[in-house]
Amino acid sequence: MSELRSTADAAIARIAARQHGVVTVTQLAQAGIDKDGVRWRVGRGRLHRLHRGVYAVGHRSLSWRGRWLAAVLAAGHGAVLSHSSAAALWRFLRPLPGPVHVTVGAAVRRKPRPGLRIHRSRSLARGDITYRHGIAVTTPARTIEDIRDEVEPYLFRRALRQAELVGHRVPHLGRVKRTRSDLELLFLAFCDEHGLSRPLVNRRVHGHRVDFFWPEQRLVVETDSWEYHRGSVAFEDDHGRDLELRAHGITTRRYTGDQLETAPEEIAADLRAAMTPPRVLVTEAKTA
Q: Which domains does the chain have, with CATH numbers?
A: 8-57 (no CATH), 64-165 (no CATH), 180-275 (3.40.960.10)
pTM: 0.60
Average pLDDT, the chain: 84
CA 7 to chain centre: 41
Task: State mean pLDDT over 106-118.
Answer: 83
Round to whole Å and give the CA distance between 73 and 136. Answer: 9
Residue 228: its pLDDT value, please?
Answer: 44
Round to whole Å and give the CA distance between 275 and 270. Answer: 9
Residue 145: its pLDDT value, please?
Answer: 92
Q: How confident is the model at residue 237 (pLDDT cuts 50, 70, 90)?
A: low
Round to whole Å and give the CA distance between 75 and 110. Answer: 7
pLDDT at 226 over 50: no
Q: How confident is the model at residue 31 (pLDDT cuts 50, 70, 90)?
A: confident
pLDDT at 177 over 60: no
Higher pLDDT, 157 or 202: 202
pLDDT-wise least confident of 11-25, 108-122, 246-260, 273-287: 273-287
Q: How confident is the model at residue 235 (pLDDT cuts 50, 70, 90)?
A: very low
Q: How confident is the model at residue 278 (pLDDT cuts 50, 70, 90)?
A: low
Helices 180-193 and 264-275, axial angle in degrees (round to 10): 80
The neighbour count for residue 203, using CB atoms within 10 Å, is 14
Residue 234: its pLDDT value, please?
Answer: 45
Cα separation of the two ends of the chain: 99
pLDDT at 230 over 70: no
Higher pLDDT, 237 or 107: 107
